[in-house]
Structure 1
């Protein structure tokens, strides 16, 4: 991808996003981080301990970034495409849940 790459919409971005997540360990770390985000968010809302919500970005991005820097050896798309990347995280999470993507 060139440094000037742009996408007109998420449908154009998602194939690029998947290319940036070709390493299975990276995808597994994304999945674990996303699942933990859901669990912690649910816990915070049910228990009323809303300060836990502050941990969500650390949990989600922490797992994902370890996957990128250590295993995928690339720079997370979040740095250039934050909204599309966040959307991609959840679409990929769904795709892994339903078996469309191997992890």
Structure 2
């Protein structure tokens, strides 16, 4: 998909196939999965402990693992740079799809 067409998404349903194509590398997807698990763990711990001071770790863990996957394994720029909302949603939809076995993890 060209940069021209990648900027013309009118819905998340149009964006998600592009998002998946940007995550074709298995290691990249696994790093996304690990990052998302860590985010959920951190959020759960914050709720349990009521320690808001560690909340800053959630985006560091989520984006950190994802960006390592893109820069070192997928060799592309994360979709979040051009499509932040759709990319955020895509992270969680892809996480769900990996969790239920729809996408290999």
- Normalised TM-score (structure 2): 0.95
* Among candidates 64, 73, 78, match of residue 75 of structure 2: 73
Structure 2 portions without partners, runs of 5+? none
Q: CA RMSD in A?
A: 0.8
Shift of 1:3: 2.7
Shift of 1:72: 0.1
Matches of 2:51 and 2:31 in 1, distance apart?
26
Q: How many residues are treated as equivalent by the alignment?
A: 103
| Greater than 2 Å deviation, 4+ residue runs | 1-5
- Normalised TM-score (structure 1): 0.97
Residue in 1 that maps onto 2:14: 12
Residue in 1 that maps onto 2:96: 94
Residue in 2 that maps onto 1:57: 59
